[in-house]
Amino acid sequence: MIKVSNLIFIIFGLLGFFLICCSFILAALNRKRYDEICILYKEKHGSLPEAITLFKDSDKNILNILYFNYGYAVKRQFIMMPILSNKNSIHMPDVDKEFIRGLPKRLIRPFLIEHYLAIIGAIFIVTGWAIMEVIQYFN
């Protein structure tokens, strides 16, 4: 028979794993939106920031799209830093953050959903593990 603590961890862990998988799928789907943002940025400013040009094709391989890929992280910072913190990425200090913040919601919202799904998924996994440890400690 499964202990209550293990069952809680399994439920929280599966839910967290599901949310993180959903964020990976959304990351793959966001590639078209990212390319569209790059085109719009290039049309307005003449060229993309150097870091974006360097890592533009870093997620061609599905295995490289994971959050551990440095190139993918740099590309995400191009969009997420101006939206979440109203600051530019340390890799791209000259990005027009007002341009990024002014993009249509249909382009920005999926990146925010991807970001929050990954965070909430990780929180579920850690919370499930913590609850399991607390229950086992008191038993």
Q: Choose among 138, 121, 127, 136: nearest CA to 9.
A: 127
Question: What one-letter code names the amino acid at 92?
Answer: M
pTM for this entry? 0.81
**CB distance 12 to 131 below 8 Å:** yes
Q: Choose among 72, 73, 71, 82: nearest CA to 107.
A: 82
Each residue's pLDDT tens digit in the chain (139 positions)? 777 778 888 899 999 999 999 998 998 888 889 889 989 989 988 888 887 877 766 656 555 555 456 777 778 888 888 888 888 877 777 777 888 889 999 999 999 999 999 999 999 999 988 988 888 888 7
